Amino acid sequence: MSLTVTRVLPADATAAALRADVTEGLTRTPKHLPPKWFYDARGSALFDRITTLPEYYPTRAEREILRARAAEIAAATGARTLVELGSGSSDKTRHLIRALPTLETYLPVDVSETALTAAGRALLADHPGLTVHALVADFQRGLTLPAAPGPRLLAFLGSTIGNLLPGERAAFLKSVHAMLSPGDALLLGTDLVKDERTLLAAYDDAEGVTAAFDKNVLSVLNRELGADFDPSAFTHVALWDAEREWIEMRLRARKELSVKIPALDLVIGFEEGEEIRTEVSAKFREEGVRAELAAAGLTLHRWWTDTAGRFALSLSVREE
């Protein structure tokens, strides 16, 4: 029916956030960078390759659940509006859109206006009666949804919630509670705890695609901030933290070096073997997901896994 794109983020917000994150993350010990800076055009293309690798199961597992359970999700929610956070290409969401006979409005939320526009046009070609209202926004910076018919189903897929630290997850789920009205639902994708070998392989593949993806963040800093990182001077490392039950991706300096970042008037020193943590990817258990949802005022009603039990989709609701 129509495609509308609304920019919630100020035009300079992304550049300002990058500067703040790099200044805060690289001037402290241990060093860290948020994983959202992986995703320029090259990084997004590399991640698309990762999702097709034999070692990387989450995308296939989640898609399997969506194909098998989309009709159940539709029946349980009766959603007239579908909201998707971090929608990207909206590829997996198509299974939901096709299964929701009552759907009138799709509200994708992403920081990339280009991705939102392309995905919206593609969806309208297949679903000409749909209203697509895309929001250029960062869901972690506070988000108010536009008026749309209820009940609403908010989808947060891909286990992206695992990239948030525990305190960030709690704040995010509380923000979801605030976005929803009583009777609205949250569809949440969570990667599950499993054996260390499978987990490490998923984040350190034999072809080296994940290593290139990890190092791409350095190329982003070179381009956007005039930095002089040499990606070949760093090694990609994936580690399993059994106590916290999360994977960490890191970039480890091969030798002692210093990096100039002119846009920030910074010179960052690295000892040989010093690391930058570039991603945390938490893995979950059903009881933990249920508890985190309950702490935010959401009640878990349904829990589905793929046939191998590697990944889960949960459906929770905001109660009256």
For 2-25, how does the pLDDT look when each residue is reduced to its tens digit (9 = 90+)? Answer: 889 888 878 788 899 999 999 999
Could you tell me the pTM of the whole model?
0.93
Residue 129 lies in a domain: yes
| 47 and 123 fall within a common domain | no
| 69 and 209 fall within a common domain | no
Residue 15 lies in a domain: no
Of 25, 62, 37, nearest to 313 by C-alpha is 62
Q: Helix axis angle, 13-26 relative to 209-225, nearest 10°?
A: 110
| 117 and 222 fall within a common domain | no
Find the CATH number of the domain harbouring 170.
3.40.50.150
| Alpha helix (H) residue ranges in the chain | 13-26, 41-50, 58-77, 93-99, 113-126, 166-179, 196-202, 209-225, 286-295
| 160 and 91 fall within a common domain | yes
Q: What digits encode the pLDDT tens for the residues 153-191?
A: 999 999 999 999 999 999 999 999 999 999 999 999 999
- Domain of residue 177 covers 57-139+154-192+284-318
The Cα–Cα gap between 12 and 230 comes to 27
Question: Would you say residue 54 has pLDDT above 90?
Answer: yes
Average pLDDT over all residues of the chain? 94
Backbone angles phi, psi at 247, to 5 degrees: -90, 140
The Cα–Cα gap between 82 and 89 comes to 15
Tally of domains in the chain: 2
Question: Would you say residue 88 has pLDDT above 80?
Answer: no
User: How many Cα atoms within 13 Å fall on the side-chain side of residue 278?
Assistant: 26
| 51 and 61 fall within a common domain | no
Tokens linked to 31: 């060093």
The Cα–Cα gap between 202 and 58 comes to 9
Residue 12 lies in a domain: no
Question: Would you say residue 276 has pLDDT above 70?
Answer: yes
Question: Would you say residue 142 has pLDDT above 80?
Answer: no
Q: Helix axis angle, 166-179 relative to 286-295, nearest 10°?
A: 60
Per-residue CA distances from 247 to 50, 163, 240 (Å): 16, 10, 5
Residue 24 lies in a domain: no
| 184 and 207 fall within a common domain | no
Residue 19 lies in a domain: no
Alpha-carbon torsion angle 7, 12, 13, 17, nearest 10? 150
